[in-house]
Amino acid sequence: MASTYWIKLYHEILDDPKMGRLPDHLWRRVIELFLIAGDADNDGVLPTVEDMSWRLRCDETDLDTDLHEIAKLNIVQNDDGQWVVTRFAARQAAVSDAKRMKQYRERKRRQQRYSDEGETESVTGDVTKRNTDTDTDTDTDTDTEKTPVANAPVAGFSEIVERWAELFPNRPHPTTKNKALRKKAGARMKDDEFRDGWEAALKRMTHANDWTLSKTWFTLNWFLANDENWHKCADGNYDGEGGATGGKFKVR
């Protein structure tokens, strides 16, 4: 199976004592092993030590020593002579829709809480500014501030459009002047997960089944239309064989 270009690297690594107490070179080696496991895309099964040593440009004996040291912490394990990253498949598995929505709601609640906590300070600051501001309501600067948000540039939108054109030269190519598309991109860009994962999701779609890539609905407009569509791309719902009746996905 082809590499999926990226792996999940969990924040908890920063607070994991067994990782934090590793010597620097072993900490780096662990991350390299994670990346190799992701590139191999074989449920955490690693290539031979010989192949990995060539890939990492390191001595084979040194790598073997590192693997045995890391194995003491159960980060990797040797299964009948085959090195495997422990629980790699489970950790990299796609998040269920229910769990993703739960995480999404939790992020929204945190954002709302932070917003509520900062409301008093924000309002006070605005009042102070209004009381000390000597500009009149008819100033040019005031008019500029009232420009609709919908007309403001969306951070990253041009990059998305350009990347789409590079990855899918045979699909319709919208321009950055498309206001409707810019609005959809703005909605997606409010989400941290989308900002971190949109490019990987598009790259994964370059390996989608032929049926999907031939359909008129597969456009950048569709990709940005809602959170569900781009998530399905990132999760590999369109990988491999598929079709109008035989695929494992639904078009919405």
pLDDT tens digits, one per residue of 190-226: 888 898 899 999 999 988 888 888 889 999 999 999 9
Per-residue exposure over 155-190, b if at least 16 CB sit within 10 Å of its own CB, e if not: ebbeebbebbeeebeeeeebeeeeeebbebbbebbe
Helices 97-117 and 119-132: crossing angle in degrees, nearest 10, is: 40
| Cβ atoms 237, 248 nearer than 8 A | yes
With a pLDDT cut of 70, the percent of the chain lying above it is 73
Confidence tier at 241 by pLDDT (50, 70, 90): low
Say yes or no to pLDDT of 135 above 70: no
Architecture of domain 11-92: Orthogonal Bundle (1.10)
Locus of tokens 């991109």: 185
pLDDT tens digits, one per residue of 87-112: 898 888 876 666 666 766 777 777 77
The domain limits of the chain are: 11-92, 151-252
Averaged pLDDT for residues 48-73:
96
